[in-house]
Amino acid sequence: MIEDPVLFEVISSSLVSCAREMTISLRRTAFSPNIKERRDCSCAIFDRTGNLVAQSKDIPVHLGAMPRSVKACIQDIGESLTEGRMALVNDPFRGGSHLPDITLVAPVFHEGDLVAFAANRAHHADVGGSSPGSMPGLSINIHEEGAVISPRIVVENSTLMREAIDDLLSATRTPRERLGDLSAQMAANNVGLKRLAEVAVAHGWETLLRSFEELRYYSRKRMHSALSKLGKLEASFTDYMESDGAGSRDIPLSARISVDDGMGYVDFTGSSMQVEGNINCPLASTLSAVYYVFIALFGRDIPTNEGCWSVLDVEVPQGSLLNPRYPAAVSAGNVETTQRIVDVILGAFAEVKPEIIPAASQGTMNNLSIGGTDHRTGTSFSFYETIGGGAGASKGTYGTSGIHSHMTNTLNTPIEALEMSYPLRVLKYAIRRNSGGRGGWTGGDGIVREIEILTDGCTISIQSERRQRHPWGVNGGEEAKTGNNSIVFHGKEHSLEAKSTVMGPSGTIVRIQTPGGGGWGPS
């Protein structure tokens, strides 16, 4: 029960501001363009048991998954999480997503008692593995994708301990950049600790900690009310991952959804078992995609915290594509398979509530990694970015062109920053006209991105989807165009598979054409 609604709103907003200021700090102090420019990072506040209390509006695939990382740290090394320490984790089988996403967790103490956590997750441009960027077109084992970090203490007395991350620094091709980004993560958590203490001083620790419970109760009540308005419904939908990079194709992903008495149920029974390639999706990322859809559809103006998804029951068979067993490869699962999870749940809802459901967006993050030796400095470099595409149209709204959608919320890498930081040149960056699906409301168009490599011996890796299966329309709207990957050398264009790793000499041009979004309603 909320005793003082005005104070409740003040504290709720203050907690969100704590997380937002953490994110601003992390972006401003990071070394890598991927975090500094693309903003591939997320920050949040958690209660003493690891439940999400408040978050910055950052990357959906990070935010819904981070509570499992915090809880893994509590479970594995809880007694070691004393004041002045921080824990690091990226293990996809201990609450992580994929290995480049590294989470740093800081405990909050009051009068010697653990009362909360501040944590952030950032995508590091290289953590080792078989190819620069740690996002290979083909991997069949988690250890081919980089250094695996189970929960461990890496900060002592507010100092980053180099010896605690020796394995990461030995594995990565860019250790100096990793140290810089980890230092930025540490600084962001320190901002969170400081700001949270200031909120507590202003309102009292007892009031602050009570508000954690009130927030969860409030969000649960609001989500329950929103789902209750749907009445009773049930629907199912199946879509397919095009490939796993290791030879498997048309891999089914099925969801049965139901809503009854204000509770939501999602059952992924019938989806593929885990596959040999790297599109296996860790459970934390799968749940994050489910939470995202329900919050996006029904959680408008509801504070996002653990209470939002306490009204959801999600069934994910162990050993399946969406809950794989160690040592499955997962690097593309977090970025590509989560996008398809969103499509599948939206597709199911479109069977019964098309008026509130958008058509499929591009359905991929178009992950591009390029790495090698920078001829300008003689040092290794690792460039990574995701590329936007078309958003699906909805009833009354045209789809947006050239945008990151659903589970990603990053920016592009600005051309100036890209060319300054790497031996690369951007030749073309344009809207891919008429790639969105037609309809009463037309889907957004994709992007054409062409990058020329200016140094020899580079490795190019691509993880993408929707190169064969079109983003679908809703209620008579037409499907969008699929994407296309290719390289151009000496004037000849060579097509690439959706998941590819190739070598490229100086002068090679990487051309990515991203999918559009589906249309809504008949033309």
Per-residue pLDDT for the chain (523 aa), expressed as one digit of tens each? Answer: 577 899 999 999 999 999 999 999 999 999 999 999 999 999 999 999 999 999 998 999 999 999 999 999 999 999 999 999 999 999 999 999 999 999 999 999 999 999 999 999 999 999 999 999 999 999 999 999 999 999 999 999 989 999 999 999 999 999 999 999 999 999 999 999 999 999 999 999 999 999 999 999 999 999 999 999 999 999 999 999 999 999 999 999 999 999 999 999 999 999 999 999 999 999 999 999 999 999 999 998 999 999 999 999 999 999 999 999 999 999 999 999 999 999 999 999 999 999 999 999 999 999 999 999 999 999 999 999 999 999 999 999 999 999 999 999 999 999 999 999 999 999 999 999 999 999 999 999 999 999 999 999 999 999 999 999 999 999 999 999 999 999 999 999 999 999 999 999 999 999 999 999 999 999 8
Whether residue 327 is preceded by a cis peptide bond, meaning omega within 30 degrees of 0, is yes
* 448: phi then psi, degrees, rounded to nearest 5: -110, 125
Per-residue confidence (pLDDT) for residue 20, from 0 to 100: 98
CA-wise closest residue to 108 among 209, 211, 249: 209
CB atoms within 10 A of CB 241: 28
**Residue 301 burial by Cβ neighbours in a 10 Å radius (0-12, 13-18, 19+):** exposed
Q: What's the angle, vertex CA 437, arms to CA 512 and CA 515, rounded to 5?
A: 15
CB 251 within 8 A of CB 273: no
Residue 313 lies in a domain: no
Does some domain include residue 483? yes
Measured between alpha carbons, how far is 97 from 77 in angstroms, rounded to an integer? 19
Contact 456, 375 (CB under 8 A): yes
Give the β-pairing of 367-374 and 379-385.
antiparallel
CB hemisphere CA count around 134 (13 angstroms): 27
Which of 219, 241, 275 is the endpoint of a domain?
Answer: 219
Q: From the centroid of its chain, how far is CA 281?
A: 12
In this predicted structure, what is the pLDDT of residue 3? 76
Give every CB contact of residue 198 below 8 A, 6+ residues apart in sequence. none
214 & 363 share domain: no
Specify the amino acid at residue 227. Answer: L
Instruction: Please say which residue of 204, 219, 234 terminates a domain.
Output: 219
Residue 147 domain-assigned (yes or no)? yes
Q: Looking at 219, 254, 289, which one is the last position of a domain?
A: 219
Q: Tell me, yes or no, whether 146 lies in a domain.
A: yes
Phi, psi of 28 (to 5 degrees): -75, -30
- How many domains are contained in the chain? 2
Tokens of residue 461, six digits: 């890796």
- Per the CB < 8 A criterion, the answer to whether 360 and 346 are in contact is yes
User: DSSP state, 48?
Assistant: T
pTM: 0.97
- Say if 448 falls within a structural domain: yes
In sequence order, what are the residues at sequence separation of 6 or more whose Cβ sits closer than 8 angstroms to the Cβ of residue 73?
A: 50, 81, 87, 89, 95, 105, 151
User: Hey, what amino acid is at 492?
Assistant: K
Smallest Cα–Cα separation from 285: which of 23, 17, 61? 61
Does some domain include residue 258? no
**492 inside domain:** yes
Domain that holds residue 436: 358-523
The pair of structure tokens assigned to 168 is 């990461």
CB 171 within 8 A of CB 498: no
What pLDDT, on a 0 to 100 scale, did the predictor assign at position 1?
58
Judge whether 340 lies within some domain: no
- Three-state SS string over 99-147 comes to CCEEEEEEEEEECCEEEEEEEEEEECCCCCCCCCCCCCCCCCCHHHCCC
d(CA 331, CA 282): 9
